[in-house]
């Protein structure tokens, strides 16, 4: 016998009605977008292009669904994001007239909500707001985006405390995973690669569905999951060998 609560049943039905992004191919996810309840990790060193890649993916998926974007690093350039959205729309709608394209851009901007967080306590409040009413009130939200998940690690580190970076990362990831599972939404986030290195096999770990690792080699070559890439005003582009 399968017993479930009325609240769980309601959230399941609400989740099924959310717009799907799993069938949307992009320059990065060539086999479709992330499935509901999945986590997408974008990792890399400083200045490797993590924020740009996140904005590029948001610009692609906001055509289909509403997106909540947590701007923690304050590196999100609204003008650049707008240009990425316009480029994505032009690629998806090559025959659209300028007026039609302008209308689609306006709708995409209305579907995007950027939340600035300047401390971990503000991020905590924002996640609670997601859980308690934002995702309940809006059935079009399918994607949560977070830029620089562990931005406040050094500010949160108490004097003489030695909380490991990986533990700190897993604690925040657990909050996001709970939200994704409960509401059947996907989450794409960036994290500095120094936080996802786990040297202790007994440490707590959370399954990550997709991992996108950006690297900037000493030679100046940039890679994404070992594929050569270039970065320009169109975002992150994979170079065909």
**pLDDT for residue 26:** 84
Residue 1 lies in a domain: no
pLDDT at 180: 95
Whether 10 is in a domain gets the answer no
**In this structure, is residue 109 part of a structural domain?**
yes
The sign of the torsion formed by the CA atoms of 180, 185, 189, 194 equals positive
Handedness of CA 193, 194, 197, 203 (dihedral sign): negative
Whether the pLDDT of residue 114 is over 80: the answer is yes
Give 179-234 as a DSSP string: HHHHHT-EEEEEEETTSS----TTS-----SEEEEEEE-TTS-EEETTEEEEEETT
**86 located within any domain:** yes
What residues make up the domain containing 39? 31-194+203-238
Calculate what percentage of the chain has a pLDDT beyond 70. Answer: 95
Residue 8 lies in a domain: no
CATH number at residue 233: 3.40.50.300
pTM: 0.92
Distance CA 25, CA 181 (A): 23
Helices 50-61, 78-92: inter-axial angle, 10-degree rounding: 50
Query: Domain total for the chain?
Result: 1
Q: Which residue has the higher pLDDT, 160 or 190?
A: 190
Dump pLDDT digits (tens) for 119-149: 999 999 999 999 999 999 999 999 999 999 9
Can you tell me the mean pLDDT for 72-82? 88
Confidence of residue 220 (pLDDT cuts 50, 70, 90): confident
State residue 195's pLDDT score: 93
Helices (H), the chain: 6-17, 50-61, 78-92, 98-110, 120-129, 135-137, 153-156, 165-183
Separation of alpha carbons 232 and 228, rounded Å: 14
In sequence order, what are the residues at sequence separation of 6 or more whose Cβ sits closer than 8 angstroms to the Cβ of residue 190? 42, 43, 44, 50, 51, 53, 54, 73, 146, 147, 148, 149
Helices 165-183, 6-17: crossing angle, 10 deg rounding: 90
Query: What is the spatial distance between Cα 235 and Cα 214, in angstroms, rounded to a whole number?
Result: 13
Contact 32, 216 (CB under 8 A): no
Measured in degrees and rounded to the nearest 5, phi and psi for residue 87 equal: -60, -45
Q: Which of 23-37, 56-70, 98-112 has the lowest mean pLDDT?
A: 23-37
- Strand-pairing partners, residue 115, are 70
pLDDT, position 241:
57
Query: Residues 170, 213: contact at Cβ < 8 Å?
Result: no
Q: Is residue 22 part of a domain?
A: no
pLDDT of residue 6: 76
Whether residue 3 lies inside any domain: the answer is: no
Residue 185 included in any domain: yes
């Amino acid at each position: 016998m399968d017993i479930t609560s009325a609240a769980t049943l309601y959230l399941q039905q609400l989740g099924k009605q959310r717009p799907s992004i799993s069938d949307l191919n992009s320059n990065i996810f060539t086999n479709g977008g992330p499935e509901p309840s999945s986590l997408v990790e974008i990792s890399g060193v400083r200045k490797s292009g993590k924020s740009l890649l996140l904005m590029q993916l948001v610009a692609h998926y906001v055509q289909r669904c509403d997106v909540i974007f947590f701007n923690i690093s304050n590196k999100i350039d609204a003008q650049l994001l707008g240009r990425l959205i316009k480029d994505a729309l032009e690629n998806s709608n090559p025959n659209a007239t300028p007026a039609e394209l302008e209308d689609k851009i306006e709708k995409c901007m209305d579907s995007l909500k950027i939340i600035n967080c300047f401390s971990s306590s503000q991020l905590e409040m924002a996640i609670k707001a997601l859980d308690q009413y934002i995702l309940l009130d809006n059935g079009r939200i399918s994607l949560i985006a977070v830029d620089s998940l562990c931005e406040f690690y050094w500010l949160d580190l108490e004097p003489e405390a030695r909380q490991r970076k990986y533990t700190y990362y897993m604690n925040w990831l657990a909050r996001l995973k709970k939200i994704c599972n409960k509401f059947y939404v996907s989450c794409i986030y960036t994290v500095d690669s120094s936080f996802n290195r786990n040297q202790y096999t007994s440490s707590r770990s959370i399954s990550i569905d997709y991992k996108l690792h950006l690297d900037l080699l000493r030679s100046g070559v940039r890679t994404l999951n070992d594929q050569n890439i270039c970065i320009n005003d169109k975002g992150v582009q994979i170079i065909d060998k």
